[in-house]
Amino acid sequence: MKKTNSREITGGVAILLSSMALSCGSEIEDEPEMIASSDGAPLRLYENPYAPDMDGAPSPIGRAATAAAEAYEVGGKLRLLLAVRGFPYERTFGSHLHRLECNDPAKAGGHYQHMPFPEGGMATDPDYANATNEAWLDFTTDDRGQADSEVTMDWLPRAGEAKAIIIHDRASGEGGVSGAKLACLPITGF
């Protein structure tokens, strides 16, 4: 059995993402321009993700998990690609573009919203927290713990306001609610 190191996995994921970006059929005809990526950054697993409700419960994502992301501008729209490897088999996770960095005490803050909820409002208000105003990349892994997700949004993130992709415990529900923040992938370029 061949042992694969993390550099080979990351390189393979990058090749996969590039081929996804270039070969995916789409009604968008302009040439894609990469505007942001995870640029080989490691996936950060959050310790004790279920605190305080299930304090001490282990994360279902193991240390061998990897992820990579690329973002493209295509005709004034955002195409965001995510590839994960080494995750639990046949399991669904929520995943969203987030506002802050992975090392922020608030675990990358809230979801990036193209039209932010008004001051005094709720971040989970479905008028703002929905799949057209936020970039949702939910995925279900296959029998090898792999998944690819892609979303095209009719907008581009504002400069400096989207810095990470968070992997959540469950699929996105009403208002983007998707459970504990399990892992974070840094994104640079927005």
Residue linked to tokens 């493209």: 72
Express each pLDDT in 102-159 by its tens digit.
Answer: 999 999 999 999 999 999 999 999 999 999 999 999 999 999 999 999 999 999 999 9
51 pLDDT above the threshold of 60: yes
Q: How far apart are CA 169 and CA 167, in angstroms?
A: 7
Other beta carbons within 10 angstroms of residue 187's beta carbon come to 26
98 pLDDT above the threshold of 50: yes
DSSP the chain: -----HHHHHHHHHHHHHHHHHH---S--SPPEEEEE-TTPPPEEPSSTTTTTTTTPPPSS-TT-EEEEEEEEETTEEEEEEEEESPPTT-EEEEEEESS-TTSTTSS-SB--SSPPPTTS-TT-TTTSSTTTS-B--EE--TTS-EEEEEEESS-PPTTS--EEEEESS---GGG----EEEEEE-B--
Banded model confidence at residue 87, pLDDT cuts 50, 70, 90? very high
- Lowest mean pLDDT of 23-27, 44-48, 128-132, name the range: 23-27
Can you list the domains of the chain with their CATH numbers? 6-23+31-186 (2.60.40.200)
8 pLDDT above the threshold of 80: no
CA 63 to chain centre: 17
9 pLDDT above the threshold of 80: no
| pLDDT score at 20 | 52
166 pLDDT above the threshold of 90: yes
21 pLDDT above the threshold of 90: no
| pLDDT score at 31 | 82
- Whether this prediction's pTM lies above 0.75 is answered by yes
Average pLDDT over residues 27-42: 86
| pLDDT score at 187 | 98
CA 71 to chain centre: 11
